[in-house]
Amino acid sequence: MDLKIGQCIKENTLSEHTQRSKEESEKILRERHLDEEKIQKVMECVLYHHGTSKYPSVEAEICANADCYRFLHPR
């Protein structure tokens, strides 16, 4: 989901990381000839991984939750 976050941090364009990650992910998936439905599900996951008031799919909501869980720590 954060495919381009490192590059965006280096370039001081962090606010663009979601869109840039989506574009790169889509390119990779299309090169592998995935069907359109799968590509769209992955794109939703990438675009909405920071949350939204209404998720376009259950997969997008699961990915957003998983992204949050990675910050949990016992402390």
Residue 36 binned pLDDT confidence (cut-offs 50, 70, 90)? very high
Please check whether residue 35 lies inside any domain of the structure.
Answer: yes
Structural domain for 42, as ranges? 5-69
pLDDT of residue 46 exceeding 90: yes
pLDDT at 3: 80
Q: What is the mean pLDDT of residues 64-74?
A: 87
Instruction: Specify the pLDDT at position 58.
Output: 95
Report phi then psi at 20, rounded to 5: -70, -35
11 within a domain of the structure (yes/no): yes
Q: What average pLDDT does the segment 12-36 reach?
A: 93
The answer to whether residue 36 sits within a structural domain is yes
Give 71's pLDDT tier (boundaries 50, 70, 90).
confident
Q: Binning pLDDT at 50, 70 and 90, where does residue 11 land?
A: very high
| Domain count across the chain | 1
74 is a domain residue: no
**Cα torsion through 34, 38, 44, 49, rounded to 10:** -90
Contact (Cβ atoms closer than 8 angstroms) between residue 16 and residue 3: no
Decide if 75 is inside a domain: no
